[in-house]
Structure 1
Amino acid sequence: MGVVSLEEANRLAAEKSLDLVEIAPDGQPPVCKLMDYGKHVFEAKKQQAAQRKKQKQTQIKEMKFRPGTDSGDYDIK
């Protein structure tokens, strides 16, 4: 879209019913994007939840050793 003034960007955002979101504030000039910010936040949360679900949970196994357990069984366990 190119470099536009802040007033022009706000006008475009209002016309399209979108939000003006600053992407790279350190740039010269700062980089902004027209997007539906609520939808963006929802998608990000949904993606994070999917990543947490995919992570493998470490599970500690419980073993019981009794006096009758043979020494060979210790090696196997």
Structure 2
Amino acid sequence: MSNLMVGVELLISGLIIVFLVLLFLMYVMKLMSVLFGKQPSEVRISKQPLATISADPGEEELVAVMAVIASLLPK
């Protein structure tokens, strides 16, 4: 019976120690995020208009895609 009580005592003390270590690490992580968190970045406004891309791929693009696929397929 003594061995069982020692085992239960070790189990409970181990669970408590693990819980306390995880709690400590959680607060350390929160503190680190507050101290070294990212500063809000500036919003950059581009003076150039956005480039538009046509929905239909050109003939050169299709040839390039077909060449890449052909090189990947087993012969």
- TM-score normalised per structure 1: 0.37
* Bigger Rg over Cα: 2
Task: Give the helix-richer structure, 1 or 2.
Answer: 2
Task: Give the strand-richer structure, 1 or 2.
Answer: 1
